[in-house]
Structure 1
Amino acid sequence: MDTTRAARPVGEPGSAVRAFLVSPAAAPRPLDVEVPRLRLVRMLAQRWERAVTVVVAGPGFGKTTVLAQAHRANLVEPRGIDVWVDCEAAHGNSVVFARVVLAGLSTGDGVRAPGARDVVDALIRLAPVEVSLVLDDVHEIPAGSPGALMLGEVVRALPTTAHLVLSGRTVPDLPLARREAAGDVVRIGTDDLSFTDVELRALGRRLGRDPALAGALRGWPALVRLAFAAGPSAPWRYAREEILGRLSAPRRRALGALAALGTASSAEVAAVTGDAVRLDGLARAVPLVRALDDGRYRAHELWTEALAATMAAEEARHLHRRAAAVLADRGDLARAGALACRTRDWEVLADLAVRLVNTTLSALPREMAERWLGAVTPTVADRPEFVLLRAAVVHAVDFTDPRIDVLLDEAWAGLRDRHAAVVLAQAVITAHSRADVGRLAELACRADHLPGPPTPMARLLRHSVAATLAEVGGDPEAALAEIVQAPVLEVPPVIALPTVRFHYHCLDMCGRGAEAAELADRTVGGSDDEHVRLASAVARWFDGDPSDLGRLRDAPPRRPGGVVGTARDAFVTAAFLAVIASCCGDEPPSCADPDGHDNPRDAALACAARAAVAVASGDEPAARRAYAHHLARWPVDVRFGERHLRRFLTLGYVLDERLRACWDAVELGPSHRRARAAARALVRARAGEPSMLAPEHALCFLPLPWSVELAARLTAAGDGEGVELGRWLADAVGPAVHREFRRAVRSADEVVAAGATRLLAALPSPPTHRTGIDVIGAMRVTRDGVPVDVPQLRRTRVRQLLGALVLTPVLTRDRALDLLWPGLDPASAARNLRVTLTHLRRLVEPGRSGGDATFHVRSDGDTIRLVGSAWLSVDLWTFDLLAVQVDQARAEGDVDRAKDLLGTAVGLWRGDPLPDLGTLADPDAGIEIDRVRAHHVRNLLDLGELRLVSGEAAGAEHLAVRALAVDPYDARGHRLVLAAALKSRDLRRIATARHDVLSALRQLGARPDPATELLLRQALPPRR
């Protein structure tokens, strides 16, 4: 039971996260030495009994100090784990906020774009140990920001073993009404935090001061402390005149820099002030300045007010500008912009606006940009920097908005001498989104006359503009020649990203799909955006490689209006997925009308998608009309449109003779040559000259009706490869293939109908009823959910062979003979196997005639196969699949789904699995039985912990008892029983559970791990 988890501060240097279990050294330090405030510590102790504790007061009320005292009280008598997060403005970004919290919880590795569900799931994973998540300075999270919205989702889904403490000057608008009505929220405010007379006297005694000195300060802790230091005169004046006035100018500037930066290192403060100042000395000389655990420092916000009245306006402006520059250089544009907005320094905010556009381009953080634009006054709103930012916001909302070019030209007029490259980059992205050749040509002229020496950014832009213009001109090869010269490694990756994405787009346009997929894997494989990561899978598919079929079939179309991507991104994704769906017999996503596009590129995408859907539905004439209509509007000699039609070359080649003639006469890239070969195979087959096509290419390049037609024509011609193609498609795609077989049987083309008939005879159609095979417990077979009692099921060898096939779906005949009849001669054993197989087929598929091949039990050469399908369910296969789905649901943060899946898995258990195989001398079967048993125990405990955190203590205890019945010494099981008993508050149950845990530990001769020890301590009888 030794599962020790060492308590330690977590996160990288500079992290605002600290996690604690039992280590006092890891605790946060208070701002100043204070009297123990036991009444507040007792109030905060209620956080272990309530879901949410809210601590709200202005600066200087000692919120952090009291939280630290409450934490130390928990170290003396632990109730659970404290996780502490110092909130920052950057936490308005929900992904950043979630990552910081997950770091504190020592989890979240590998989560690409974590959110609220990931945080909730991480809290649940700590169950049954209680966890208190303390969010200090929560007012730093901007109201209405994605981070604030994420916090609201966490509050809504907070498990019962987790407790949230929110401390700050204000608290975001959170869904607390239901919890408050249930008495599940503790609120601590200004009146609670103010010093009482007793505390004033105690502090006075500690400092040797008369409590009357601070009597007029209404118990405000920070000013009380200052009053005791300076007398009853106004502490504000004291702070300005006595403390700040006595500081040297470098130290005063350092304090101002520290207050502006929020938290900072000595080097960052020096960069703002220009002076080398030791911050440890500043912390000793100035109250309410503290060192953080990571070596950085923080000045209390009170000094911001005091400094405002002591620094000259010009000095303050200079300091704040330098601070904003430091913040921007360390990537904290959110705080830099907030500082500029607070000080109304529009010069700084204007520079930050250009930097924001420059570093985000196609992934503008709209919320931040709109917040900045909303802060500027009307007198400066027309500055070219803000016009540029406004254009970027409009583009993120709707790339077709005609105002964008007007705004960008206005920004260009004002910024061409300073930030021409930034404006031009945004203009190129917008023009390319619309495929506006005229605009791109104009921008190319501007790029050729950029002022100044050719910096990496300028060279990147020149090559990108030239490449974009070449691609829109219908020459992607020339575009590639330009794009490979772009210095993408000499600029930050976020700036290079649009160029890299255009690079693999051009490779795809040139028919070099494998190279495009490799580049996408290498450069955007780790993107937070699933649809960006999907680029490699799409490129592989149109290269003839269906290895990512599962990802493509599961991928949703991109939603417009997201942080990454536009409405056009959604359209492009839907078009590609519609074509892929037509190849698989799946329901395609809806696509736009081709006539709704005013450029041949997007019209080609819409045309191909519409034609593919028409072919898939059996209406090939409609598909031909779609291409004819498109080519009437955009003829073949329109190079830009023709090159985009090549992306779906098979469709155009089969459906339109003009395109066929064009593509037979040109040199094509490797991917396009493979697509043309697939199209030619179908065209030749229709002309009576069928030839085999690689099954993978038939799947990727041909809509499903066409690939089935090709298989049928091959089969009708007596070519056995037609049956192999049909079998491969059925195995790869599923029931949709047999639907196409049946539709082809009704074809007016006699050759296709005859071939489809033979395919149906050679490849058995799916059963008419659903069969269930249950091997977890005594073997049971069901038909359409009803258990059957037939003679075949009473035969031991039939049950053993079926159990062996469940474990090993492809079983060699020799292995079956050795397993079931090890003592018989080969001829007798083979005869027994034939008889047993006959009984097994009748058991699994009783309705088939003797001459028909069975669908689920197949014997091919030297192997016997149990083939899975939608008509066959095997509880052990479902059991293993559920394990994968549970892991996936938890990785996605869908805890409710994980709980439902676990409930299903637990419900499959009827006893030890595969009991018939247990009688055989087969070590592999024994290992498998042990594996399933251990996994069942884990499922019980996972589900029990999820129920515990949902407030179902009785259900959690029941599941833990069931787990201990299988494995009496499982540490998690004993811990869960104990935690559930504690939740019940039933002293007898608590005592019994504690006794059982201690008894198990004694029998094992083991010490409890820290989590178990914490629960045992809570389970001690109450003191009398």
Structure 2
Amino acid sequence: MGDDTTGLRAVPRPLEVELPRLRLVDRLRARWCRPVTLVVAGAGFGKTTALAQAVRANLLEPRGVDVWVTCGPGHEDAARLAQAILDALDSPSPDPGAPEVLAALRRRAPLDVCLLLDDVHEIPAGSPGAALLGAVARALPDTAHLVLSGRCAPGFPLARREAAGEVAAIGTADLAFSGAETAALARRFGRELPEDLNGWPALVRLSLTAGPAASWRYAAEEVLSSLTEPVRAALAALVALGCATGDEISTVSGTPVKQLEVPLVDRLDDGRYRAHDLWANLLPTDHLRDKAVEVLCARGDLAAAGRVVCRARDWELLARLAIELVRTTLSVLPWATAQRWLDAVPAQHADEPAFLLLRAAVVHARDFTDPSIDCLVDRACAQLLEAGDHDGAAVALGQAVITAHSRGDLVRLATVAHQAQRLDASTPVLRLLRHSVAAVVAELAGDPEQALVHLAQAPTSEVPQALAVSTIRFHVHCLSMCGRGREAAELAERMLDDDLARRHAAAARWFDGEAVEFHGSDADSTARGEFVARALHTVIAASFGDTTTQPFAEQDNPRDAVLACAAQAAVAVTRGEEDLARDIYKQHLARWPVDVKLAERHLRRFLTLGYVLSDELRERWDSTDLGPSHRRARAAGRAFLQARQGDLRTNLPEEHALCFLPLPWSVELAVRHAAAGRTTLGIWLADRVGPAVHRQFRELARDPGLAAGAAKLLATVPAPPEHPIGIEVIGPMRVTRDGVAVDAPQLRRVRVRQLLGLLVLRPVLGREQAVDLLWPDLDPASAARNLRVTMTHLRRLLEPDRAGGEASYCLRGDGDTIRLVRGGVLTADLWSFHELSDADQLSEAVALWRGEPLPDLIEECEAEIGHVRARYVQNLLALGELRLVSADPAEAWRLADRALTLEPFEPRAHRLALAAALRARNPQRTVETRARVLDSLRQLGVRPDPATEILLRQSVTGS
């Protein structure tokens, strides 16, 4: 029963001079009783210190797990705030957002978890960060609690929770020292306070440190005057940085910092220092600004650097940061942070080039189709070039390229290419931009080989990631255009790491002749991206006999016109309308003749279609030196046309027939080969594609010239059953047809049930393995005969309507092995049980359990059946934890009880049962569950782990 229950991140350590205020700590500990706690007061009221004390009090007598996040610059960006919370929860995510935060909170169940957000005033109302917090607050799991601490109420509504009494509020009056606390603190210092400071904690503490004081400023100056010059410099550096390590403070102040022990300076658990904001009004920091910004930029914290600069109203420095922000983010700009900077810029500076560029990036982030982007970028670029800032101009052109790519705007790309010629190529960014734009121009001229020459010289390893990724994607595209699909796929897989890259790599491999699987949505980030993906996948879908009813509109440029032409022709061929497909290519070539290099190069992407359907293209490509992928596609087209003329000498690889030919053509080729005695292609296509192949076989069986080959394949390759067949082995064995259990005599045979159970349990079963398990006492010949008889009964059980002598579809015997054809019309509850692993599928997985699995094989397959039972227990517990966080403790307890019936010593089940009993506020069940946990621990002779100990301690009170 051992889980790690730690969850603190960067919690301030209460200063020695602070007096523990038990009344306040008790109120803050009560955060475990309400979903949301608000701590709102001005600067200097000890919000952070009080929360830190409450957190540490929880460590002494834990009620759950505390997780601390200090909000700061940049957290108005939802992704950045979500990532900070997920990091604190030890749940990193590649796509951070509210759903991921809520999922991470749920994963802490059955323990309660409290998320403390300090300095929440840093997240302005209306920002994406505030929206994220609002979403989290609205959907908090029942085992999660939220503490929001700041100088003002959070920038999202909590009215619904407040109306339900689910919000606890702590304000200025609660945080101020009482008279007794102030007096006790004064006695500890051996001093008196000559004036009433209204219980203001920071002022009381500082006044006692500095001696009797008539005012806040006097007390502060007394403290400052007592500091040495290096310590004062270090404090000023910390004020400039906001929050920093000792090394960062040393870099800015110019003096080594080992310890910084100054009043109103907190030391966080991770070793960083944080100065109270009240010091910011007393220490000059202008002379440290540039150095502080340099350190913050080196840390990668441009948002914090921007805040420093905005406070100082240094618009020249903010302009440099604006260009840096666009340069390092491009199409993934944190627009909320950028907008905050733009809002701070005075009107007289708003038309400076850096801020024009930043405004363009913000507009792009919100709506890349906005026509104002180009004007803003062009104005920024022209002014930067006029000022001799070629680096800044390169960033502007990078933004222009991203926007043009997003729109698929070829004219705009050509304009950007012309502008790029004015840049000096002395830095990596400028060299990359020059070469990548030149590559775009070459590709648009129909010369992707020349584009590759430029791309090979582009320094993608020395530039911002956003610009590098864009360039690499274009490199992948150009390799595919040159017929080098395998190289394109390898480059995408090696250099890129996102769903779009994986889809590009899969498409490149498919058009190279490798029949890969496609996963994920076809959607892309732009309207044109979606059009391209839809066209490519329409052509690929034709290989499986699938068509689309969604039309492809006529395109006004040769690149997209080719995509529409190929997609429409592939659909026509798949529907048996080959003459229409020829007309589609003829009309395309009439508008975009083969001499238009760009159009002809794009036609090669779907070379087999054009080779078969157009005499003009066939003649052209027969005399052209093509790339490897295009040569394979041409070979597929030639093999198909030769087969139509009776020449069957070419054996086309099965994968190439699938990838390069629409299904009617690949099946026709298979039928022609089958008539000559070669059925390999037909069998492979039927296995890979499924029922659509048999529909094509039957269609071609009506053609006198193809009937013989089609009939042979129909007799050799079994067709799928007309009705779905289900096998249930979790509990007493059942076989269903169309969802209805069958009462077949074969099921009354033990050996039939055992063989079927083995085939469900093991994907491939060796014949020798089967006879050794089922007939261990028989001689090999008798055992083999019994296996043949049992397989005959099993075929009749699964496919009773299949004619005698026809090969079975569901049960296959391949040489020395036997297997079931998994998926499609044949399903098994055990296969589904293993596949249903997502949180929203757990109920379905648990519902599959009808009793002990495979009861006829309990002796032969004990270990494998044990694994299934263990998986079921884990599903019960995962589902129970979900029920607990969704406020259904009664169901959570029942699920835990079911798990304990199977595994009485499972620690996770005991924790869930105890947490559910507590959450249900059922004293009797809590006492009984606690006794069961303690009895289990006694029998095992072990101590409870920290998580179980927390629940056991709570159960004493709960009972």
One fold, TM greater than 0.5? yes
Confirm whether residue 730 of structure 1 aligns to residue 712 of structure 2: no
Match for residue 275 of structure 2?
A: 299
Q: Which residue of 1 aligns with 2:37?
A: 53
- Choose from 316, 334, 349 the match for 1:380: 349
What SS is found at the alignment partner of 2:321? helix
Q: Residue in 1 aligned with 2:449? A: 477
The equivalent of 1:574 in structure 2 is 534
3-state SS of 1:854 partner: coil
Q: Give the CA deviation at 1:819.
A: 2.4
User: 1:471–1:479: 8 Å Cα contact kept in structure 2?
Assistant: yes
Alpha-carbon spacing, 1:878–1:530, altered in 2? closer, same or farther (3 Å) = same
Cα distance, 1:166 vs structure 2: 1.7
Q: Secondary structure at the match of 1:556?
A: coil
Question: Structure 1 pair 153/809, CA: closer, same or farther in 2 (3 Å)?
Answer: same
Q: How far apart in 2 are the matches of 1:607 and 1:354?
A: 42
Which SS does the other structure have where 1:536 is aligned? helix
Once residues 250 and 634 of structure 1 are traced to their aligned partners in structure 2, the CA distance between those partners, rounded to angstroms, is 75
Which of the residues 326, 350, 357 maps onto 2:319? 350
The alpha-carbon distance between structure 1 residues 575 and 365, as it changes in their structure 2 partners (threshold 3 A), is farther
In structure 2, what is the equivalent of residue 796 of structure 1? 750
SS in 1 for 2:720: coil
Q: Does 1:170 align with 2:170?
A: no
Asked whether 1:238 is paired with 2:218, we answer yes
Shift of residue 978, structure 1, vs aligned partner: 1.4
CA contact 1:582–1:613 (8 Å) conserved in 2: yes
Letter of the 1:730 counterpart: A
Correspondence for 1:609 among 544, 560, 567: 567
| 2:855 partner SS | coil
* SS, match of residue 195 in structure 2: helix
Cα distance 1:390–1:615, how it changes in 2: closer, same or farther (>3 A)?
A: farther
Distance 1:121 1:530 in 2: 22
Structure 1: segments with no counterpart, 5+ residues:
10-16, 19-26, 561-565, 890-897
Residue in 1 that maps onto 2:801: 847
Listed one character per residue, the Cα deviations across residues 795-818 of structure 1 (whole Å, up to 9, x for unaligned) are 111111111211224323333322
* Alignment partners' CA distance in 2, 1:401 and 1:122: 37
Does residue 583 of structure 2 align to residue 583 of structure 1? no
757 and 54 in structure 1: CA distance in 2 versus 1, 3 angstrom threshold: farther
Question: 2:668 matched to 1:695?
Answer: no
Query: Residue type matched to 1:409 in 2?
Result: D
2:346 is paired with a residue of what secondary structure?
Answer: coil
Q: Which position in structure 2 is the counterpart of 1:557? A: 522
Q: CA deviation at 1:415?
A: 0.6
Amino acid at match of 1:278: V
TM-score, with length taken from structure 2: 0.92
What TM-score, normalized to structure 1?
Answer: 0.87
1:581 Cα deviation after fit = 2.7
Give the aligned partner of residue 877 of structure 1. 831
For these two proteins, the number of residue pairs brought into alignment is 954
CA distance in 2, matches of 1:714, 1:1017: 76
> Matches of 1:264 and 1:635 in 2, distance apart?
65
Match of 1:413 in 2: 382
Say which SS state the counterpart of residue 91 (structure 1) adopts: coil
What is the alpha-carbon distance in structure 2 between the residues aligned to residue 76 and residue 298 of structure 1? 25
Contact (CA 8 Å) 1:591, 1:609: kept in 2 or not? no
What CA deviation, in whole Å up to 9, does each residue of 1:859-884 have, x standing for no partner? 344433211233222111111112xx
State the secondary structure of the residue aligned to 2:380: helix
> Cα deviations across residues 971-1005 of structure 1 (Å, max 9, x unaligned)?
11222221111112222221211111111111111
Q: Distance in 2 between matches of 1:342 and 1:933?
A: 62
Contact 1:214 1:227 survives alignment (8 Å): no
**CA offset at residue 431 of structure 1?**
5.4
The answer to whether residue 566 in structure 2 is matched with residue 630 in structure 1 is no
Alpha-carbon distance between aligned partners in 2 of 1:825 and 1:1022, rounded to the nearest angstrom: 66
1:59·1:169 contact (CA, 8 Å) conserved in 2?
A: yes
Distance 1:442 1:149, change over 3 A: closer
Shift of 1:928: 0.8
Alignment match, 1:892: none
Instruction: Find the counterpart in structure 2 of residue 523 from structure 1.
Output: 495
The yes-or-no answer on 1:425 pairing with 2:398 is yes
Equivalence for 2:738: 784
Aligned residues: percent identity?
Answer: 60
Assess if the C-alpha contact under 8 Å between 2:363 and 2:370 holds in 1: yes
Give 1:828 deviation, angstroms.
Answer: 3.1
Flag the 1:448–1:137 CA change in 2: closer, same or farther, 3 A.
Answer: same
Q: Indicate if the aligned counterparts of 1:32 and 1:288 stay in contact, CA closer than 8 A.
A: no
Q: Give the counterpart of 2:28 among 27, 44, 60.
A: 44
1:911 and 2:822 aligned: no
**CA distance in 1 between partners of 2:132 and 2:122 (Å):** 14
Q: Which residue of 2 aligns with 1:30?
A: 14
Q: Deviations over 1:548-589 (max 9, x none)?
A: x1xx2x3213354xxxxx433333333333333333345769
Matched, 1:501 2:473: yes
Helix, strand or coil at the partner of 1:379: helix
Q: Deviations over 1:701-733 (max 9, x none)?
A: 223333233223333x33423xx3233233333
Among candidates 278, 284, 289, match of residue 257 of structure 2: 278
Code of the aligned partner of 1:381? A
Q: Cα offset for 1:756?
A: 4.1
The DSSP-based 3-state class of the residue aligned with 1:858 is strand
Query: 2:299 maps to what in 1?
Result: 330
Equivalent residue for 2:66?
82
Which residue of structure 2 lines up, in the alignment, with residue 137 of structure 1? 119
Q: Distance in 2 between matches of 1:161 and 1:198?
A: 37
Structure 2 CA distance for partners of 1:220 and 1:649, relative to 1, 3 Å: farther
CA shift in 2, pair 1:939/1:870, >3 Å: same
CA offsets per residue over residues 931-987 of structure 1, 9 Å max, x none?
A: 111111111111112111212111111111111111111111222221111112222
Residue 260 of structure 1 corresponds to 240
Q: Distance in 2 between matches of 1:70 and 1:392?
A: 43
Aligned to 2:870: 934
Give the Cα separation in 2 of the matches to 1:743 and 1:338: 71
Question: Residues 502, 74 of structure 1: CA spacing in aligned structure 2 closer, same or farther, 3 A cutoff?
Answer: same
CA offsets 1:369-402 (integer angstroms, 9 cap, x no match): 3443344333222112222233344555666655
Cα 1:89–1:728 change in 2 (3 A) is farther
Shift of the 261–171 alpha-carbon distance from structure 1 to 2, 3 Å rule, reads farther
Quote the Cα distance in structure 2 between the aligned partners of 1:903 and 1:768.
30
Cα 1:277–1:743, aligned 2, differ >3 Å: closer, same or farther?
Answer: same
1:352, 1:510 → 2: CA distance? 40
Post-superposition offset of 1:205: 3.7
- 2: CA distance, partners of 1:446 / 1:1005: 77
Distance in 2 (alpha carbons) for counterparts of 1:799 and 1:869: 20
Partner of 1:22: none
Stretch moving more, 186-195 or 835-844: 186-195
What's 1:13 paired with?
none
Amino acid at match of 2:269: D
Answer yes or no: is the 8 Å Cα contact 2:670–2:682 preserved in 1.
Answer: yes
Inter-CA distance 661–229: structure 2 relative to 1 (3 Å threshold):
same
- Classify 1:170/1:467 alpha carbon distance in 2 versus 1 (closer, same or farther; 3 Å): same
CA distance in 2, matches of 1:143, 1:933: 50
Contact 1:456 1:487 in 2 (8 A): yes
1:21 matched to which residue of 2?
Answer: none
Query: What is the rounded CA distance, in whole Å, between the counterparts of 2:84 and 2:797 in structure 1?
Result: 57
CA distance in 2, matches of 1:432, 1:917: 60
1-side partners of 2:921 and 2:603: how far apart? 70
Q: Quote the RMSD (CA, aligned, Å).
A: 3.0
1:572–1:605 CA contact under 8 A, matched in 2: yes
Deviation at 1:542, TM superposition (A): 1.8
What does 1:77-226 correspond to in 2, within 5 Å? 77-108=61-92, 111-174=93-156, 176-208=158-190, 210=192, 213-215=195-197, 217=198, 219-226=199-206
C-alpha distance in 2 between matches for 1:803 and 1:591: 48
Q: Deviations for 1:103-152, whole angstroms, at most 9, x for unmatched residues?
A: 322333xx422333333222222221222121212222344444433333
- In the TM superposition, residue 230 of structure 1 has moved relative to its aligned partner by 6.5
Aligned equivalents of 2:193 and 2:729: distance in 1? 78
Flag the 1:918–1:91 CA change in 2: closer, same or farther, 3 A: same
